[in-house]
Structure 1
Amino acid sequence: MSIASTIRTQIKRIPKGRTFGYADLSISKADYLTAAKALERMQAKDEIKKLAKGIFYVPEISIFGELKPMDSEQLRPYLFKNGKRVAYETGTSLYNQLGLTTQMAFKIKLACSQKRISLNRGSLQVKTVKSYVEITQDNYELLGLLDAIKDIKRIPDCPTKNAIQFFRARLKTMNNQEINKIIRYALAYPPRVRALLGAMLENNQYVGQLNTLKDSLNPLTRIPLRLSETDLPNQAQWYII
C-alpha cells in the first residue's frame, strides 16, 4: 500500500473534529515529504482542514455549517508530543476545572517543560510558563494541585479558607505513595508551597515524610501569607505568618 493510501486509511478512522499531526499517522520521518503532498491533496478536496503548521483535522458539518474543533481539542497537540504528555493546563482555567473558582480564563495558561508557545487563534489564546518538574501523564495532576497551592492568594473569587479546605480534602483522598510523590515534587516549588503542603498534611494527621518538607525550609525566613489561624492553626510551626 502506498504512503498516500496508508494516510487516507488512517485519517478515515480519526473522529471528526479530532486534531492530528504527522506523528499520529504512524509513518516514518523519511516519509513526511510524501505525506505532506498527500495531505495537501486532501486539503484541496476539503477532506481535511489545516489548523496550524503540521496540525490538521477532519471537518464536521452541522446544520449551521462547518464546525472547528473544540478548544480542548485544539490544545491537545500542545499537551502531547509523540503520544507523551509534555504540558498541562494551569492557572485560572485549571482552578475553574477543580471547582476553586467560577471565573473563566480569558487566556489559557499551559505549564510545559520543553517548547514554549504563544497562541492567539480567535477565542483561543494560550501562553506558556515553565513547569517546576518534568511533566508526565502520571504526575501532571499532582503538579496542577501544587500550582493551585502556590497561587492560593491569587485564585479568583476563592477565599483562602475555602482553598485550604479543598486542598486538605484532596490530600486526604491520596494514598501514601501519592503523598510521597507530591512531597517530592513540592521540593522543586517555592518555599510557600512546601510550607503550606507540610502544614496541611500535618493538620491531616499525616506523619510520614514531613521532615523532608520542614528541613527544606529556612527557619530564619518567614513566609508572609496572612492566613487566619483558624484556617491553619499550625502555620507558625511552618514559618508562615
Structure 2
Amino acid sequence: MTTVSAKIMQQIQQFPEDMSFGYSELAIARQDFLSAAKALERLQKKGLIRKLAKGRFYKPKRTPFGEKKPDEQQLLKPYLYKQGKRIAYVTGDYLFNQLGLTTQVPAVLKIASRGQRIFINVGAIKATAVKSYVDVTDDNYQMLGFLDAMKDLKQIPDIDIKNAVAIFKNRIRQLNQSQRQAMIDCALAYPPRVRALLGAVLTALNPKKGISKLSDSLNPLTTFDLGIDDTLLTSALAWNIR
C-alpha cells in the first residue's frame, strides 16, 4: 500500500458510516490527487466506499435491509461549505416546511448564497440557486432562513397566517438579546416588508432595545399588505401592516 493509499484508508476508517466526503476532507495535497484517485477507485471496487458524485464519496451504512445512502444533509454539505466555511443554506418551501409553515415539500430545493450560484443535480437531490441578502455563516444562516420566511410569507403554499404569526413569535421569543440584535442587523438588508414584520413581532414581545433601527429604516407612509391585522398581531397597525 502506498503512503497516499495508507493515509486515505486511515482517514476513511475514522469516518462515520453514510458520511459523504471529498478530497478536501481527506486532506490530500494537490500533487497527490492522481494517486488518491487510484486509491479511491480501488476502495470502490472493494465495496468499502461508494461514489456519490464527481469527486464525492461515502462509506455505505449496512443495515438488515441493505446499504443506506447518506441523508440529505450529508448530500448537501459539500455544496453549503467551501474550505470548511459555510457559504450557503437551504431556503424556500423545503425550509418553510421544516419551520411548520407549510405541509408541502418541493421537488426542487433552493440554495441561497451571497457569493456564488449553486445548482445541484445529484440523484434525487435537485436544487436551484437564489441570492442571499448577506454573507452566509454558521452563526447567521438559520436567521436568514427565518427572514426568508417573512419575506415570502404571502407566497408560501397553504400557509395559515395565524399559525405563521405564532411560529414567528415563538421562534423569536427563544432568542437572547444578542441574537435578536443580530437578526435585526441582518433584516436591514432585506425588503421593507420584512423589517416591518420583524419590528411588529419584536414590539409584541416587548423588546428592550435595538428595535429603533428597523423603524428608522422604513418610510412612515408605506403600508404592507401581509394579511395580518391587530387581532393576529397587536402591533401590526403601528408598523403599517394590514
User: TM-score surpassing 0.5?
Assistant: yes
TM-score, normalised by the number of residues in structure 1: 0.91
Cα distance in 1 for residues equivalent to 2:65 and 2:207: 55
After superposition, the C-alpha distances for 1:50-108 in whole angstroms (9 at most, x for unaligned) are 11111111223444443322222211211222222222221122122222223223222
Aligned ranges for residues 12-51 of structure 1 at < 5 Å?
12-51=13-52
After superposition, the C-alpha distances for 1:188-209 in whole angstroms (9 at most, x for unaligned) are 1111100000111111111312
Cα distance in 1 for residues equivalent to 2:25 and 2:19: 11
Partner in structure 2 of residue 128 of structure 1: 129
Q: Once the 2 structures are TM-superposed, how far is the Cα of residue 126 of structure 1 from its aligned partner? A: 1.6
Cα distance in 2 for residues equivalent to 1:70 and 1:170: 26
Cα distance in 2 for residues equivalent to 1:168 and 1:63: 44
Aligned ranges for residues 64-143 of structure 1 at < 5 Å?
64-143=65-144
1:7 matches 2:8: yes
**Closer/same/farther in 2, CA of residues 149 and 161 from structure 1, 3 Å limit:** same
Cα distance in 2 for residues equivalent to 1:168 and 1:66: 42
Report if aligned partners of 1:60, 1:68 keep a CA contact under 8 Å in 2: yes
Secondary structure at 2:153's aligned position in 1? coil
Relative to structure 2, which stretch is displaced further, 121-130 or 191-200? 121-130
Partner in structure 2 of residue 165 of structure 1: 166
Q: Once the 2 structures are TM-superposed, how far is the Cα of residue 154 of structure 1 from its aligned partner? A: 2.4
Report if aligned partners of 1:198, 1:213 keep a CA contact under 8 Å in 2: yes
- Amino acid of the structure 2 residue aligned with 1:240: I
After superposition, the C-alpha distances for 1:128-180 in whole angstroms (9 at most, x for unaligned) are 21111111111111111111111222233321111111111221121111111
Cα distance in 1 for residues equivalent to 2:121 and 2:7: 33
Gapped regions of structure 1 (runs ≥ 5): none
Q: Once the 2 structures are TM-superposed, how far is the Cα of residue 46 of structure 1 from its aligned partner? A: 3.0
- Amino acid of the structure 1 residue aligned with 2:180: I
Cα distance in 2 for residues equivalent to 1:143 and 1:95: 12
User: How many residues matched?
Assistant: 241
Relative to structure 2, which stretch is displaced further, 47-56 or 58-67? 58-67
Partner in structure 2 of residue 52 of structure 1: 53
Secondary structure at 1:23's aligned position in 2? coil
Report if aligned partners of 2:111, 2:119 keep a CA contact under 8 Å in 1: no
- Amino acid of the structure 1 residue aligned with 2:186: Y
Cα distance in 2 for residues equivalent to 1:122 and 1:26: 26
Cα distance in 1 for residues equivalent to 2:63 and 2:84: 30
Secondary structure at 2:175's aligned position in 1? coil
Identity of aligned residues (%): 48
1:153 matches 2:132: no
Partner in structure 2 of residue 210 of structure 1: 211
Report if aligned partners of 1:24, 1:82 keep a CA contact under 8 Å in 2: no
Gapped regions of structure 2 (runs ≥ 5): none
Relative to structure 2, which stretch is displaced further, 138-147 or 151-160? 151-160
Relative to structure 2, which stretch is displaced further, 135-144 or 34-43? 34-43
Relative to structure 2, which stretch is displaced further, 150-159 or 181-190? 150-159
- Amino acid of the structure 1 residue aligned with 2:160: P
Secondary structure at 1:127's aligned position in 2? strand
